Amino acid sequence: NFKSSAKFIKSVIKQRAIKSEEEIAEIEKAIEISYDMNTTAMREMKPGITEREIFGKVQGIALSKGSGVSFPIIFSVNGQILHNHLHENIMKTGEIAVLDSGAETVLGYASDITRTIPVKGKFTVKQKNIYNIVLDAQLKAIEMMKPGVLFKEVHLVAAKIIAEGLAKLGIMKGNIDEAVDKGAHALFFPHGLGHMMGLDVHDMENLGENYIGYNKKIKRSKQFGLAYLRLGRELEPGFVVTVEPGCYFIPALIDQWKKENKHSKFINYKKLEEYRDFGGIRIEDDVLVTETGHRILGKPIPKTVEEVEAECAKK
């Protein structure tokens, strides 16, 4: 019956959520492959080639060094389109491309890493400004991770940092705490901060997200943006979780909200027009919750503006 099925599902989740040392080592093997996938993309990126050329090289590394990709690669200069699996654009100077990809080991464990890469090898000033807002949100979110902390609270802190950064650029306005509470930031950050990882890239998702990411103490929000947070519950030692804030300028969503005059108290729609064709930025790492805090898994993959540009220069 349903009750016994729910009990079984919760038992499986309890077992798989806590990763053993052997499982952590296997995930780090996958991240080693991701290192090569991402740094190769940075070095090979240049104007005049199609996204497919980079996509093919990245996928080839996953196939040659593991058992393939852990999910279909997302690689596009249209980073504002979440889960974009088209790779037909010819990349141009001044554009940035989001690479969200992962490798799978022979034993089936996954990595999930995102980097945003300038096509010409250098970020513009405007791109640097948004990039550093997202990076700050990611670093502060990771700093918070330790046993007992609600991942929902980590998500909200990241959202606030993004909103504060956008306010400094004149894109958002008003009381930022109120703006985040009302969900105005979700125009720019419409997805969750992260999810469990392991044998599945969205670990155990087929068992039901509400069983994995929520419990009697913490329920899923119905608010746009926050509703898509896959993990809201307290963190425990042994959890492996992605931390992947992003900032996106989605023309169709901007037009819809502007037409509805939605959150005009917090969004400067006139200033926002300057960023309409910006695209999107996301930065993602895989993080282990330890007994006393956290550890970013794997060999550090270039992440700061300076690190990414330096890797891009290694042609």
Print the domain residue range for 59: 2-312
The Cα–Cα gap between 134 and 122 comes to: 17
Q: What is the number of structural domains in the chain? A: 1
Can you give the pLDDT of all 315 residues of the chain as single tens digits?
Answer: 455 588 889 999 999 999 999 999 999 999 999 999 999 999 999 999 999 999 999 999 999 999 999 999 999 999 999 999 999 999 999 999 999 999 999 999 999 999 999 999 999 999 999 999 999 999 999 999 999 999 999 999 999 999 999 999 999 999 999 999 999 999 999 999 999 999 999 999 999 999 999 999 999 999 999 999 999 999 999 999 999 999 999 999 999 999 999 999 999 999 999 999 999 999 999 999 999 999 999 999 999 999 999 999 998
Q: Are 54 and 46 in contact (CB under 8 A)?
A: no
* Domain at 185, CATH number: 3.90.230.10
